[in-house]
Structure 1
Amino acid sequence: MSTDQATRSRPALRPPVSRAPASPSLGTMLHATTSSISVLLLIVAAGALLHQPMLVPPLAASAALVHSTPALPLAQPRSLVGGHLLAALTGFAVLAVLGSATWAAALAGGLALAVMMLSRTQHTPAVATAVIVVLQAPRPARFLPLLLAATVLIVLAAMAATRAKRGVPAYPSYWW
């Protein structure tokens, strides 16, 4: 078979069809960006003021998740607040039993994921909260109220942001 015949007998190569979601509008991107920046300014300031800067990264990931994909189950208040609190409690339990070690932090992250899955409060950024608890060994009486306040702040900021922009479905999709 000649090269010309082989080329003709092959099906035409088509670019793969992307299954990625469509790009959001510029207005949607700007709205998500400004609303997440607003809540992160408060969280970063509180973390610095209360000497808990390591708490900020998982909360920043949570804010990004909530403001960019507010309809996802992972972004709902049940998962956001419940996931972080359960992950922190899992981290404190591992810390109490095994101490502060890198392998214990990894175990805490994995166990936190299991606890969240069992309780139907999956929130992937919260895995980092469990890891931070084991690595940093913060005082629970100070850490847990700060974590609760920060997660509630993220929920309230998302609620305000969705009500401020017309045509956007209200956040949250559900509470419990």
Structure 2
Amino acid sequence: MSTPVHEGPLEVFKALRAEIDRRSNQQQALLSLQVAGSTALTSVALANRHNVTALLTLPLFSLVFGAQWYDHRLAIRSIGNYIRDDLGPRVPGLLDWESTKPKTRGQWVGVLATYAAFPVASIAAVIALVVAGAQGHVPAWAIVGWSVALMATTVMQIVIWCFVGRPRA
């Protein structure tokens, strides 16, 4: 049972849990947009060999959606750490979910599979453009675009791998 001393931290806790919920919903929306967009662009590209250049937009969208998804992941982790380390001790026994939640062995598989949805789609699009370019179905401007897409995909990978596990200020 909460006491008046605990009401302030409990209100903060409610607001932070609402923020985690909001960010989790946005992550789900970003992942849905990524899957739907990748499928739509791939369908357009496969419908006619002259549409293969539509795949050039996929690495750009993947970069933007992936960066936003990962930003939400870092924020959720940061909020959870604040709840566990700062709010939890102020309200003993009431806010210990963050420290007592069960850790499952497969949780990283889900995170990696979700994270992989962004760069894998970009890399697949770039490979498809290379194959189509080798067959002469891609104009020269698209090869330049492909190069930019490859660099964007590489930069996304480097940035995300550099920041894995680093706390945000």
TM-score (norm 2): 0.33
TM-score (norm 1): 0.32
Structure with the bigger RCO (C-alpha within 8 Å, sep 6+) is 2
